[in-house]
Amino acid sequence: MGLFLTFILALQQPQIDEAIRKGIAHLKAKASTAGEREEQLLLALVEVGVPPSDPTVAGMLETLLAHPPTTTRSAARQARILSLLDRNAYRDRLGHCAQFLVDNQSRDGRWGPGQPVEAPDLHPEPLEPPSARTPNHVFGASSQVIFKILFRRKVPVAETGDLENSYAAILGLSACRSAGILAPRETLEKALETWRVAEVDPFRRVAALLAYQSLLHRKDPQDPALLKAMEEVEARRLPSEPQALFQLKQTLRTWGRDQLGGKEWWPEGAKVLLDTQAADGDWGSLEDTGAALGFLYLPRPTGIPEEPRRKSRR
């Protein structure tokens, strides 16, 4: 993070903390009526640092664990949520999510809605000896050993998929990998090729290509498809919609860029969101509110902003 961005963040922080508090409160108030979107709401809360000890998160987490993934997006969301909370404690469900994603890749390298698969039997081998434990700093969880588990396809292959489910699958596979659960190389290579030629927004193409380079342990900044997409990103104006801003943040932070077109993109995006938040704390839809919070939230050692303390009366 550049010095200018750090300075601007310090000036905006009180407003940002208040916006995040209001947004979190709004999402929690919607939990009882979220229905099929409960996983999405839970992911939005977990991504901005709401801990599993929070009653709302705890209730939704219990529901999630009672329902294995039945779609590609559900498998990806569950993997993202559980890898953030405690990737070791939820290793079995993460393994189920990984098996779902590996099994449901289409013949064209993409993913469709998917169909349920059986949970695998996990027989992991530690990536590291017990003396070299890897701490999970999220939510203060204890140190853990990361297991290496490689999955193979078990079900017939569908013919075609789509880009929305395919992008969800990238995020899910990345979450599984953080827990040491690895997809076959051929699955990743096939998926990577689809993003080289897909007709898609350049922000998403950059994010997808960089994600697959990471999954494949391959750093290739001179990849022609990546360079072309990066040029298109640089030529774009800063978006104003919450979901587009969140996509931009994911892309540019992965890319390691504080500037877009010669300007600091995060302070400008934050100002747009601060100016458009409604009085009740939302930005319109659940998707937009979650995306706005995801853009504004930058992890700090103290976690989510604390409620302001009231002065005691004497």
Tens-digit pLDDT profile for residues 92-145 = 999 999 999 999 999 999 999 999 998 887 755 544 444 433 333 333 333 344
Residues 6+ apart with CB under 8 A from 22: 277, 280, 281
Question: Which pLDDT value is given to residue 10?
Answer: 59
Query: Do the beta carbons of residue 56 and residue 18 sit within 8 Å?
Result: no
Q: Is the pLDDT of residue 268 over 70?
A: yes
Q: Is the pLDDT of residue 295 over 90?
A: yes
Question: Which pLDDT value is given to residue 233?
Answer: 87
- Residue 153: pLDDT band with limits 50, 70, 90: low
- Residue 155: pLDDT band with limits 50, 70, 90: low
> By residue range, what is the domain housing residue 77?
68-206
In a domain, 111, yes or no: yes
Q: What is the pLDDT of residues 48-83, one digit of tens each?
A: 999 999 999 999 999 999 999 999 999 999 999 999
In a domain, 129, yes or no: yes
DSSP, res 291: H
- Give the three-state DSSP class for 22: helix
Q: How far apart are CA 248 and CA 282, in angstroms?
A: 20
Mean pLDDT of the chain: 84
Crossing angle of helices 72-86 and 91-103, rounded to 10°: 150
Cα angle 288, 294, 298; round to 5: 155
The Cα-based distances of 310 to 81, 101, 188, 307, 313 in angstroms read 33, 48, 52, 9, 9
In a domain, 94, yes or no: yes
Closest CA to 1 of 230, 270, 267, 203: 267
Backbone dihedral angles phi then psi of residue 148, each to the nearest 5 degrees: -105, 115
Q: How far apart are CA 188 and CA 13, in angstroms?
A: 39
- Residue 161: pLDDT band with limits 50, 70, 90: very high
Beta strands in the chain (DSSP E): 125-126, 147-150, 181-182, 259-260, 263-264
Question: Which pLDDT value is given to residue 261?
Answer: 77
In a domain, 90, yes or no: yes
In a domain, 150, yes or no: yes
Q: What is the mean pLDDT of residues 303-312?
A: 43
Question: Which pLDDT value is given to residue 134?
Answer: 39
Domain total of the chain: 1
Q: What is the mean pLDDT of residues 157-167?
A: 92
Token duo for residue 300:
């700090």
- Beta-strand relationship, 147-150 and 125-126: antiparallel
Kindly report the pTM of this predicted structure. 0.84
Residue type, 59: G
Q: What is the mean pLDDT of residues 208-235?
A: 89
Token duo for residue 252:
């540019």
